């Protein structure tokens, strides 16, 4: 029997889901995306080739897979066709055989983008028209893909062949015992209902959104795995308790391709800005969609446990463990202090969350480069202890650890959690 697996982001997005979905796609027949639009950015590196996706699922570069854009998405036809064209130039053909678009997904228009540029700056949106499009959807005045393809223009004609009843395709695949991999965009803390409102996206990137965004029932999902960086990043505005210094780089710093020895020394002396700089530079923490420098911070186990509960996670995937190399002391946020009181509960009141000060546990770091590691036992003992501590705090087993950006730089701990 096949399995249906949902992959979600456990933090504020940018957790490295694109690489993980690419890694898992090998054994899936269907790869589906269920929410968001071109505000997402997934980067996949295969050998010397680098792929950047905003709308297409990462599985599109694998032959023999059907990729689905679900009804919960908002789609800019121009952006979609540009992505398809870029793939064609790299030798990857996208056609009806490997891409299906829900006719019930909504269309992002130029008017949506213009409105987003006018009003979205206050919360740090990507200016891709996502919020205005979802606003029109909820107000029942939006344009669905089914309506769009009836128009007489070049974009409509090019999109038309891809449009299918995708809920039927997804349910048929599940009933026929195929492996279905469901790909989330953004992250739990950006969820419109469960995230740090109002500094959130306009959809439900949490696991529940997979059901409504694809038209499948919750009983058809076998497992939900959450992707977490070994630290935390955030793009845009909003509270971030474990943030390390400012992400606003000087022009000179932005041009730097590598860290200096002085940067490392200052980070290891406990200078927060330089710890953040080490994470940002070593992790290449710049937005795939916007190019903005990401805000970086220590791993937040309180927010992580919240993500476990909201999504019902059955396993964890830890990415970018290699980025922590060269730091002598690592920290994990294990509690918040709010108005002088310590708590391990994630606040539902965002005014309270904005006041939260992190309470840290310190762990030793390591110097060893991790990109060649293939098994858990090959990791430095300090890295093993760090992972076990995260596993213990979140109460869910770690199934995969990523130690580099390429497909092969992956340690598979629990293959039975997937296909």
Known active-site residue 367: no
Classify residue 283: in a domain, yes or no. Answer: no
What pLDDT shows up at residue 252?
60
Model pLDDT, residue 123: 73
Q: Is residue 297 part of a domain?
A: no
Domain count, the chain: 1
- Does residue 372 belong to any structural domain of this protein? no
Q: Do the beta carbons of residue 68 and residue 98 sit within 8 Å?
A: no
Q: Can you give the pLDDT at residue 126?
A: 77
Whether 319 maps to a domain, the answer reads: no
Interhelix angle 110-119/130-138, rounded to 10 degrees, is 110
Asked if the structure places residue 160 within a domain, the reply is yes
371 occurs within a structural domain: no
**One of 42, 54, 106, 112 is an active-site residue; which one?**
42
Q: Does residue 14 have an active-site annotation?
A: yes
Tell me the CATH number at 223.
3.40.440.10
Tell me which residues of the chain have a pLDDT lower than 70. 47, 247-257, 288-290
pLDDT, position 290: 66
Say if strands 341-343 and 329-338 run parallel, antiparallel, or are unpaired: antiparallel
pLDDT at position 165, please? 96
Annotated catalytic residue, options 14, 22, 191, 322: 14
- Residue 167 inside a domain? The answer is yes
Whole-structure pTM value: 0.93
| Under 8 Å between Cβ of 162 and 99 | yes
- Residue 167 lies in domain: 4-227
Cα separation of 400 and 148, whole Å?
41
């Amino acid at each position: 029997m096949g399995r249906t697996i949902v992959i979600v982001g456990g933090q504020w997005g940018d957790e490295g889901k694109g690489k993980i979905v690419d890694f898992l796609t090998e054994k899936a027949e269907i790869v589906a995306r269920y929410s968001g639009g071109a505000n997402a950015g997934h980067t996949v590196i295969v050998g010397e080739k680098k792929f950047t996706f905003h709308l297409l699922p990462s599985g599109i570069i694998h032959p023999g897979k059907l990729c689905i854009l679900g009804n919960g998405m908002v789609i800019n036809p121009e952006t979609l066709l540009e992505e398809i064209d870029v793939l064609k130039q790299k030798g990857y053909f996208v056609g009806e055989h490997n891409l299906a678009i829900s006719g019930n997904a909504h269309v992002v228009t130029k008017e949506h983008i213009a409105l987003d540029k006018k009003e979205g700056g206050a919360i740090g949106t990507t200016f891709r028209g996502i919020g205005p499009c979802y606003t029109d959807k909820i107000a029942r005045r939006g344009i669905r893909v089914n309506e769009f393809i009836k128009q007489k223009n070049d974009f409509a004609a090019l999109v038309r062949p891809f449009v299918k009843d995708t809920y039927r395709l997804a349910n048929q695949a599940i009933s026929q015992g195929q492996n279905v991999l469901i790909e989330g965009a953004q992250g739990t803390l950006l969820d419109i209902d469960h995230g740090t409102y109002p500094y959130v996206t306009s959809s439900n990137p949490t696991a529940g959104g997979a059901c409504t965004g694809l038209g499948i029932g919750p009983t058809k999902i076998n497992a939900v795995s959450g992707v977490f960086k070994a630290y935390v990043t955030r793009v845009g505005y909003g509270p971030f308790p474990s943030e390390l210094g400012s992400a606003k780089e000087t022009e000179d710093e932005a041009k730097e391709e590598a860290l200096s020895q002085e940067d490392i020394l200052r980070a290891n002396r406990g200078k927060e800005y330089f710890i953040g700089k080490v994470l940002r530079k070593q992790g290449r923490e710049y937005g795939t969609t916007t190019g903005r420098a990401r805000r970086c911070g220590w791993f937040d186990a309180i927010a992580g446990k919240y993500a476990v509960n909201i999504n019902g996670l059955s396993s964890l995937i830890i990415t970018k463990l290699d980025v922590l190399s060269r730091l002598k002391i690592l920290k994990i946020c294990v509690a918040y202090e709010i108005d002088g009181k310590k708590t391990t509960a994630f606040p539902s009141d965002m005014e309270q969350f904005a006041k939260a000060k992190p309470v840290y546990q310190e762990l030793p770091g390591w110097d060893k480069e991790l990109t060649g590691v293939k098994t858990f036992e090959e990791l430095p003992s300090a890295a093993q202890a760090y992972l076990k501590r995260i596993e213990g705090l979140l109460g869910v087993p770690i199934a995969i650890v990523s130690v580099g950006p390429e497909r092969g730089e992956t340690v598979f701990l629990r293959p039975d959690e997937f296909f």
